[in-house]
Amino acid sequence: MAVGTSHEQEGLTLSEQSALGAHAPRTKRTGQSLPFNDELHLEAHRWLVDEAYLLDAQNYDDWLSRMAEDVHYIMPVRVTTALGAGYTTSPGMAHWDENKYSLSRRVARFDTEHAWTEDPPSRLRHYITNVRTFRTPNPNEIVVDSAVLLFRSRGDVGEAATVSAGREDLLRRIDAGWELARRTIMVDESVIRMQNLAIFL
């Protein structure tokens, strides 16, 4: 089952269930994952690694410029259910449910005196692995699966925190390269063991 469809409500994807995702692209993967030496896969892998370095450096303005105007960025709340229940997320609930405008407001806040959750700033390291790339019916869009492990520490005395997740991205080709049109993040815990989520995955 694809990362982005772990809880269907009347057959709807997570983006379709979200008010902020109402206009997000619905493009889905087709066929098997591409070979690791395929040019599309190599481009997608490089895009993810370059993005990770931007996030580690907290260069959020440049990161935001890599988002499509119709981007949907969602991390649903995971729940623990009985075997065979058919879903693993809480309907209508998300840690993040963002469009381009809401992402831009979060980025703008880092430049204000009210960004106390990042003063002093976190030390971040995004580890990206298990990348798979899939073609779609649209020749200018690809679906990319990846696993991400985030290490985060702040200050000198608090314990560091980690977040492990799987991501399904929709990348769209533009003149400048690629942009992110959709991201679904499935965190691997039902309880996030981090003081706040003033970061991006």
Residues 87, 8: Cα–Cα separation, whole Å: 7
DSSP-derived letter for residue 65 is T
Domain ranges of the chain: 3-23+30-187
Query: Is the pLDDT confidence value at 5 over 50?
Result: no
Largest Cα span, the chain: 51
Per residue in 10-40, pLDDT tens? 556 777 778 777 788 899 999 999 999 999 9
Of 122 and 112, the structure prediction assigns the larger pLDDT to 122
CATH 3.10.450.50 fits 3-23+30-187, yes or no: yes
pLDDT bin (cut points 50, 70, 90) of residue 127 is very high
| Phi, psi for residue 125 in degrees, rounded to 5 | -145, 115
Q: Reduce the DSSP state of residue 69 to 3 states and report it.
A: strand
Indicate the pLDDT class of residue 52, thresholds 50, 70 and 90: very high
pLDDT category of residue 95 using cuts at 50, 70 and 90 = confident
Helix or strand (DSSP H, E) at 100: helix 100-109
Instruction: Categorize the per-residue pLDDT at 7 as very low, low, confident or very high, splitting at 50, 70 and 90.
Output: very low
Q: How far apart are CA 33 and CA 173, in angstroms?
A: 18
Kindly give, in sequence order, each residue whose CB lies less than 8 Å from that of residue 66, ignoring residues fewer than 6 positions away: 51, 54, 178, 179, 180
How far, in Å, CA of 143 to CA of 30, rounded?
Answer: 9
Query: For residue 57, which amino acid is it?
Result: A
What's the pLDDT score for residue 178? 98
